[in-house]
Structure 1
Amino acid sequence: MFSRQLADTLKRLATTFPVVAVTGARQSGKTTLVRQLFPDRPYVSLEDPSERAFAAEDPKGFLARFSSAGAIFDEAQRWPDLFSWLQGMVDADRAPGRFVLTGSQQFGLLSGISQTLAGRVGMTRLLPLALGSELPLAQVRQPGLDALMLRGFYPELHVHNVLPQDWFASYVATYVERDVRQVLRVQDLATFQRFLRLCAARTGQLLNLSALAGETGIAHTTARAWLSVLEASDIVHLLPPYHRNFGKRLVKMPKLYFVDVGLASWLLGIGSADLLALHPLRGALFETLVVGEFMKARLHAGQPPQLYFWRDNNGLEADLVFEVGTRLQTVEIKSGQTVTPDYLQAARKATRFAGDEALQPWLVHGGSDSYERSGVRVLGWQDAPYQDKP
């Protein structure tokens, strides 16, 4: 059993809101976490056809079982009427932490909540295991960086001795493709699989949706719809450009990242650490890992990510940018284990757009050493302060 940082956030929200909700990718540990934190709540999976049929045929009778003790409703978006019924129940009794909802599709859960339960729900998102704070570093150091980028951070892969290629093949077939079929009624799964692999080949890169659609052989609107499902299911994340204009011509397209680096590696057909070490996308995959860790730290603490990148038409770029009060923290991400003068120069250059607002730049690299050098805070990938701000 892994200790999840989101547990403290959920406990806090459950003392204030009558309903708490957890969204996030399938198999990220939502059900395990809420059942561990709220053992006194009856558990109902709305993936169960018999429970869903009972709810549809006799909603009052279905919910009467939970009027006093409350309940955990797993995959709540599978019965959309639940949110309207819960509104009346929590308005009559606003006891905090009474109901717990989970959902693997953000738009399904969020649309129901925004229409009927706004102001009554504490919202959270659970991503796969976070490095260091949730996945112990002792468990990370043994296989090494490349092996970890192949395995990724889904809890199941660190609990059981299962090969990543076997697990990810099943995961995509049973969860990702099923979600797409449920939401968009996609019939041509072969084309969707090609789309998914082409997305993986673009992790860490600017998203050109027209080029992605053209290479897949689908319409631009179809590509946008498919990408929205992947984003809402926490398979991919779109990192926006920093929103302030510092007098430059800015790139306005977002950057595409997979939430889990292991899934991206599998979709790229990388089957071993030796192959990954020589792969042309190793740098992009390492950047995917680092950006994902910054995301997890914020989301699991109950905060919005508020992470950005910066790039202008003159080639000035910062891989990651976030605000610290009125100042800006830039992060340069390099997969090499040896910190070179070029790495340090790139880290310093990344702060130029922010002028006096820039803090000391960070350089997260693929080695293990952390120190300060030439005005740059150099951070090993295992030691980077994903949770902390200066």
Structure 2
Amino acid sequence: MKNIGRQALNVLLQRAMLYPVVTVLGPRQSGKTTLCRMAFPDKPYVNLEQPDVREFAQQDPKAFLAQFPDGAVLDEIQNVPSLLSWIQVLTDADPRKGRFVLTGSHQLQVSAQVTQSLAGRTAVLELLPLSLSELAKASDLPTVEPADANVLMLQGGYPRIHAQGMPPEVMLSDYFATYVERDVRQLINLRHLREFGQCVRLLAGRTGQLLNQTSLGNEVGVSSNTITQWLSILEASFLVFSLAPWSVNIGKRLVKSPKIYFYDVGLACWLLGIKTVEQLQHHPLRGALFENLVVLEVLKSLRNQGLRDPLYFFRDSNGLEIDLLLDHADGLQLVEIKASQTVSAALFKNLRTVSSLLGDRVKTQHLIYGGAERQDRTGVEVLPYGQAETLVLGSAA
């Protein structure tokens, strides 16, 4: 499996017809470079990770960019953020569409610079690891079977694992070690590398749970302020993301803490020490990891369409919860996620209770489960996990 088609390709090409600059953000090794070079094969490619190239760009940005009068693909732009101001000058003087294509792996670092220097001049897209449908197409599989769930969770979505047949535990081990030693050190003067690694592993054990920073800090042995700082680093470098609780004026029953998820379920499994299908099948966190897989699929589907819509969850102080909530202009979309391969009446309990509570605000209800058959139940659409992306497909239309 060498060439893996990406759903974001068409959106990237469309944005390049509208803006002089397109910025593609995402985790390291999510396929940003491959996608941009595939989309713009005639543009010069520049890797700003290379020390000599980076030094030239830092010391003489004007001369550096003069090499590319028709633009270029500039990879890992966070290494030379000063280039963004010069690109602004160039694109203001010559606003041809799709002139520069930038990639970046540090979300906050690049976003802040882009907002300051290229506001109104660039589209910003996010490319996350491979989705289930991208993997299915690359494997020539028409659907994702229920039995594949454990394998898919173990492997995760980083393209190298699938394109090169790399053992997940090898690639993910190297990925995390490189991440801590390189990216984290660039973002912060980190004195507690061991504690930071422990924090990330403990977060994997809290996948899909409400985040209590004080409790996590006590367990790691650092302050809650330090945990807050570390979480901002983890989110900025696309390792974890959080869902905010949806809130509305229905009293004070709703919780305020976010829930934490990983941008790659395979990495979460590796951090938990899960290495085999058998271990995962019987692991107490399998349900939470399955939930992470589904939430991530919905997020990938949105981002692949170039959409930045936020995702929420619903939970009140009595523990009544809906795993995923999308707030549309015409109503709420409620999504319950269950790892079970069979559908029983008990799986609909929370959906019906919350729907009754929220009343006319609710537009649609969905149950995503570990089975293979789509079903229509009274008021609820039941979808297999391999079709989770269809919840938001076409949202850009």
Q: Distance in 2 between matches of 1:206 and 1:245?
A: 21
**Deviation readout 1:224-252 (Å, 9 max, x if unpaired):** 11111111111111101113223352101
Larger mean CA deviation between 345-354 and 268-277 belongs to 345-354
- Secondary structure class of the residue paired with 1:198: helix
Equivalent in 352, 359, 367 of residue 356 of structure 2: 352
Q: Distance in 1 between matches of 2:375 and 2:261?
A: 28
The 8 Å contact of residues 294 and 386 in structure 1, kept in 2 or not, is answered as: yes
Larger mean CA deviation between 379-388 and 95-104 belongs to 379-388
Structure 2 gap ranges (5+): none
Corresponding position of 1:16: 18
The 8 Å contact of residues 265 and 293 in structure 2, kept in 1 or not, is answered as: yes
Change over 3 Å in CA distance of 1:332–1:227 after alignment to 2: same
Q: Distance in 2 between matches of 1:375 and 1:116?
A: 48
Change over 3 Å in CA distance of 1:87–1:339 after alignment to 2: same
Structure 1 gap ranges (5+): none
Matched, 1:36 2:41: no
Aligned residues: 389
Corresponding position of 1:289: 293
Corresponding position of 1:278: 282
Corresponding position of 2:119: 118
Q: Distance in 1 between matches of 2:180 and 2:19?
A: 31
The 8 Å contact of residues 146 and 372 in structure 2, kept in 1 or not, is answered as: no
- Secondary structure class of the residue paired with 1:348: helix
The 8 Å contact of residues 332 and 350 in structure 1, kept in 2 or not, is answered as: no
Where do residues 208-219 of structure 1 align in structure 2 (5 Å cutoff)? 208-219=212-223
Change over 3 Å in CA distance of 1:38–1:151 after alignment to 2: same
Q: TM-score, normalization: structure 1?
A: 0.96
Q: Distance in 1 between matches of 2:165 and 2:117?
A: 43
Q: Distance in 2 between matches of 1:138 and 1:336?
A: 26
Corresponding position of 1:388: 393
Corresponding position of 1:102: 103
Alignment-mate amino acid for residue 116 of structure 1: S
Larger mean CA deviation between 48-57 and 185-194 belongs to 185-194
**Deviation readout 1:254-296 (Å, 9 max, x if unpaired):** 1101111111011000111111111110010000000000000
Corresponding position of 1:202: 206
The 8 Å contact of residues 360 and 375 in structure 1, kept in 2 or not, is answered as: yes
The 8 Å contact of residues 14 and 97 in structure 1, kept in 2 or not, is answered as: yes
Pairwise CA RMSD of aligned residues? 1.7
Corresponding position of 2:4: 2
Q: Distance in 1 between matches of 2:260 and 2:394?
A: 24
Corresponding position of 2:233: 229
User: Once the 2 structures are TM-superposed, how far is the Cα of residue 134 of structure 1 from its aligned partner?
Assistant: 5.3
The 8 Å contact of residues 368 and 383 in structure 1, kept in 2 or not, is answered as: no
Q: TM-score, normalization: structure 2?
A: 0.94
- Secondary structure class of the residue paired with 1:323: strand
The 8 Å contact of residues 129 and 135 in structure 1, kept in 2 or not, is answered as: no
Q: Distance in 2 between matches of 1:347 and 1:243?
A: 17
The 8 Å contact of residues 180 and 226 in structure 1, kept in 2 or not, is answered as: no
Larger mean CA deviation between 57-66 and 345-354 belongs to 345-354
Corresponding position of 1:128: 129
Change over 3 Å in CA distance of 1:278–1:138 after alignment to 2: farther
Alignment-mate amino acid for residue 197 of structure 2: Q
Matched, 1:371 2:378: no
Corresponding position of 1:46: 48
Corresponding position of 1:62: 64
The 8 Å contact of residues 203 and 285 in structure 1, kept in 2 or not, is answered as: yes
